[in-house]
Amino acid sequence: MKKEHLHIVKCVASGSIAEELEIAAGDALVEINGNKIEDIFDYQYFTQDEYIEVLIRKPSGEEWLLEIDKEYDEDLGITFENGLMDAYRSCHNKCIFCFIDQMPPRMRDTLYFKDDDSRLSFLQGNYVTLTNMSDEDIDRVINYHLSPINVSFQTTNPALRCKMLNNRFAGQALEKAWRLAKAGIVMNGQIVLCKGVNDGEELERSIADLSKYLPNLQSVSVVPVGLSKYREGLFPLEPFTKEDAKQVLSMIHQWQDKLFPEYGLHFIHASDEWYILADEKLPDAGRYDGYLQLENGVGMLRLFMDEFKEAITAFRRTKYDTVPPKELSIATGKLAYHFISEMAAQVTALCPQITVHVYAIRNDFFGEMITVSGLLTGQDLLAQLKEQRLGEKLLLPQNILKSDEAVFLDDMTLAELEKALQVPIDIVKSSGQDFLDAILL
């Protein structure tokens, strides 16, 4: 006999429909409109309507059939213990560029889990290869009209895609993206560029092919492969040079200029690393089409700088000479160091009574080719800051910690680092206003 598929409520949002109906943590969702709910796709679809019937089972075993009148697509305010409402699907590929394969041993188990779950794409913006999706999964996305879905393409050359993903079905999976596009499902795409593999003529082909999916494929980002020092036995990959980066940007800009007049979208975007490697100016905000690929490192620095510019312009209209004197420090990855230093200098130019030390942290843990702050570890911070002047406090970016707790990638805690450095640490949120406030307050 098949086990009943129940979904346990973790918490209920304050002021929500669920709270009003006295749904509480520990309750179980049994059915919606008489339908068994397999996962988050079903839940999102069946809770859209203005009138729904929800069957809840209390911990006592008592069942409540709740009749709910609400706005179309209004959320019930329920968070479940399992965010997917089903088992997570792991990746079946063996991609030549996979960063998880480049992780050192003896880290926490969750860092080695490779997901390739379309439901995480829908919920959290994760990128999926489509190789893990059956025709039934594609049908559900289309029937439920779930958008956006983020797809990791890498290339539109079927044979090359099979090689890059080490999956003989990877080329066929491209047909699923075409089905989604024709059905009106909004998608965003990604190409992890590997030197000598899917760059040059292959990148040109991929952009040309994917542009045919417009406007439902609304953006595609091109990001350079991340190479750690733990690549023994893996596919040989080389880092991109400054000249390589210039060529990639030239191709992308040509396609943007070609596509924007027709679609009102620049469509193909280069991540921030390309501009820094090429030593070229970041594009203006309008070039990013509303920052569709922000979490993929596309336009993150431009948005941050523009937010800071707006914040410091407003600050100039205040009595900034009344800010008390202080000394503080900022640690960041090498990628953003130049930008952070420039912004800190603007603050100290207005307020010479503030001293700010900005430190670029070399990534010894993963290797010097990894330059983003999100992959810095507690041990690298400690080793490189312990002899430095840190002042009254140390500022660190939010993405340096685990999302749900104050722990670095190497499992050192924030409290342990504070104790070792003997300085209070403030975690700075991602906006330019937050950055300015963290220096001033």
Q: What pLDDT, in 10s, does the model give residues 79-104?
A: 998 776 766 666 778 999 998 889 88
Which CATH number characterizes residue 243's domain?
3.80.30.10
Q: What is the mean pLDDT of residues 163-180?
A: 93
Query: Number of folded domains in the chain?
Result: 3
Query: Is 116 in the same domain as 261?
Result: yes
Tell me the C-alpha to C-alpha distance, in Å, between residue 80 and each of 25, 83, 302, 334, 403.
9, 6, 36, 39, 18
Q: What is the structure's pLDDT at 378?
A: 97
Q: In what order do the strands lie in the sheet with 268-270?
A: 127-128, 149-152, 187-193, 217-224, 268-270
Q: What is the structure's pLDDT at 2?
A: 45
Q: What is the structure's pLDDT at 116?
A: 57
Residues contacting residue 213 through CB under 8 Å, at least 6 positions apart: 177, 178, 181, 187
Give the C-alpha separation, 360 to 331, whole Å. 6
Q: Would the pLDDT of 105 be above 90?
A: no
In a domain, 241, yes or no: yes
Instruction: Indicate if the alpha-carbon torsion angle 220, 226, 415, 381 is positive or negative.
Output: negative
Q: What is the mean pLDDT of residues 353-361?
A: 97
Q: What is the structure's pLDDT at 120?
A: 54
In a domain, 183, yes or no: yes
Domain end call among 19, 48, 80: 80
Q: What is the mean pLDDT of residues 177-197?
A: 95
Which CATH number characterizes residue 73's domain?
2.30.42.10
Q: What is the mean pLDDT of the chain?
A: 91
Query: Is 139 in the same domain as 250?
Result: yes
Query: Is 216 in the same domain as 132?
Result: yes
Q: Would the pLDDT of 325 be above 90?
A: yes
Provide, rounded to the nearest whole percent, the portion of the chain with pLDDT above 90: 76
Q: What is the structure's pLDDT at 119?
A: 57
Query: Is 184 in the same domain as 280?
Result: yes
Q: Would the pLDDT of 15 be above 70?
A: yes
Q: Would the pLDDT of 173 be above 80?
A: yes
Alpha helices for 109-168 (secondary structure H): 118-124, 135-144, 158-165
Q: What is the mean pLDDT of residues 265-270?
A: 98
**Nearest by Cα to 355 from 314, 334, 327:** 327
Higher pLDDT, 1 or 23: 23
Q: What pLDDT, in 10s, does the model give residues 32-72?
A: 999 988 887 788 888 989 999 999 999 999 999 999 999 99
In a domain, 322, yes or no: yes
Query: Is 399 in the same domain as 256?
Result: no
Domain end call among 231, 265, 297: 297
Q: Which domain holds residue 60?
A: 7-80
In a domain, 90, yes or no: no
Q: What pLDDT, in 10s, does the model give residues 123-164?
A: 555 788 888 888 988 898 898 888 888 899 999 999 999 999
Q: What is the DSSP track for 74-124?
A: ----EEESSTTSSPPPBP----TT-SGGGPPSSS-GGGG--B--HHHHHHH
Query: Is 104 in the same domain as 65?
Result: no
Residue 200 Ramachandran class (φ > 0 left, ψ -120 to 50 alpha, else beta): left
Provide, rounded to the nearest whole percent, the portion of the chain with pLDDT above 70: 93
Higher pLDDT, 371 or 144: 371
Q: What is the structure's pLDDT at 48?
A: 86
Pairing between β-strand 28-32 and β-strand 51-57 as defined by DSSP bridges = antiparallel
